[in-house]
Structure 1
Amino acid sequence: MSLNSLNSTDQNGWITDILYKENIIFHEFHTFDNMKYIGDAAARVYIATSRIYHQPIFLKPIIFNQSYTIQNFVNEVKQHRQVELHENIVHFYGITKEEHADSGTLGDFLKRSFKQLKWDVKLKFAKQLVSVVYCLHENDIVHQNLKSDVYSVGILLWQISSGRIPFEFELPDFSLVQSIIGGKREIIIKGTLNKYINIYTACWVGNLGNRPNIQQVL
């Protein structure tokens, strides 16, 4: 049975059932801190600190599709478990799922949840956002002006701090575009951390050469 033959609810139930039968532990994504991208074009890998194991953990993103199914993954786990007792073999701890992956757009998520978000959650969300763009830049997945991406990151960081889309109450017309090109920016939200403000305002400065690269933002 392929993943594509299942609806979302059945698919999640089927995957959960397989993980249970194969004794593959699921870890909540919020139990990982200080996530950093350390891979290259050949291997997408992150390192983070596990609150459960109190040690660094490697995280490797996977996507299930027709060419790589949950069963392929389970088979790899079985093979790995045959050799992981060796001291030089990395131990397999289980799987996790990135938070907010099924929550729609950033705007959708903030509209539903912003009032409940504390700053530690906002910062964690912001770090996840920046780490994704960092991954794209480091692996040369995007080929446009990278400093334009940094500007967009700055806008999204402001959106996380405000809970709303930029210039929400203004007409999205040519006049607004001209004003933004001329230096118009959204207001600083009261209560925002100064360091956070410095980061996103640096991202949206008008002169591209004065913007930080995505590694500096991260």
Structure 2
Amino acid sequence: MSKDAKEDLNYYINWLERSIDDENIKLYEYSDFKNIRPIGNGSYGIVYRVNWKHSNRFFALKSFVNNNDKQTLREVIKELKLHRSVDCHENIIRLYGITKTQPKSTLL
């Protein structure tokens, strides 16, 4: 990996960690989800239907296959920024936060 690519990758990782630390994005524990079932997939990963342990509500978890790839992280950050800018539109699925497992990252 070139120095520029590594610096870009660090930028995206740092942005995500800062957003969690500043509480702009909520981090959920992956162990708080149950009944995890795949419902679809796309170019960056798989979408799962899950229940949160503390309720009977259903959520969608989007899993990113290669979260250490610069292009994937760029797309994740782009999607997170977009969700934050249109958080209350009736035609947009609400972003509640993110969770992570090793080695995957997941949007909720």
Shorter-chain TM-score tier: 0.5 to 0.7
Larger strand percent: 2
Q: Greater RCO between the two (CA within 8 Å, min separation 6)?
A: 2
Structural mapping, 1:87-126, within 5 Å:
87-98=90-101, 101=102
Check conservation: 1:46, 1:60, Cα contact below 8 A. yes
2:72 aligned residue: 68
Distance 1:73 1:40, change over 3 A: closer
TM-score normalized by the length of structure 1:
0.36
C-alpha distance in structure 1 between counterparts of 2:81 and 2:54, whole Å: 23
Aligned residue type for 1:45: V
SS at match of 1:27: strand
Check conservation: 1:36, 1:48, Cα contact below 8 A. yes
Distance 1:41 1:91, change over 3 A: closer
Question: Which runs of no fewer than 5 residues in structure 2 stay unpaired?
Answer: 1-6, 104-108
Aligned residue type for 1:16: E
TM-score normalized by the length of structure 2:
0.65
Larger of the two Rg values belongs to structure: 1
Distance 1:38 1:20, change over 3 A: same
C-alpha distance in structure 2 between counterparts of 1:84 and 1:18, whole Å: 16
Check conservation: 1:47, 1:57, Cα contact below 8 A. yes
Distance 1:25 1:41, change over 3 A: closer
Q: Percent identity?
A: 29
Distance 1:16 1:83, change over 3 A: closer
Instruction: Give the drift of 1:16.
Output: 2.3
Q: Over residues 192-214 of structure 1, what are the superposed CA-to-partner deviations in whole Å (9 max), with x where a residue is unaligned?
A: xxxxxxxxxxxxxxxxxxxxxxx
SS at match of 1:91: coil
Question: Which runs of no fewer than 5 residues in structure 1 stay unpaired?
Answer: 103-218
Q: Over residues 133-167 of structure 1, what are the superposed CA-to-partner deviations in whole Å (9 max), with x where a residue is unaligned?
A: xxxxxxxxxxxxxxxxxxxxxxxxxxxxxxxxxxx
Check conservation: 1:22, 1:74, Cα contact below 8 A. no
**Number of corresponding residues:** 92
Q: Does residue 8 of structure 2 align to residue 2 of structure 1?
A: yes
Check conservation: 1:24, 1:94, Cα contact below 8 A. yes
1:58 aligned residue: 60
C-alpha distance in structure 2 between counterparts of 1:39 and 1:68, whole Å: 18
Structural mapping, 1:146-165, within 5 Å:
none
1:37 aligned residue: 38
Kindly report the root-mean-square deviation, in angstroms, between the aligned alpha carbons of the 2 structures. Answer: 2.8
Distance 1:75 1:20, change over 3 A: farther
C-alpha distance in structure 2 between counterparts of 1:17 and 1:41, whole Å: 27
Q: Over residues 32-71 of structure 1, what are the superposed CA-to-partner deviations in whole Å (9 max), with x where a residue is unaligned?
A: 01010111466621000012454101011122312222x5
Larger helix percent: 1
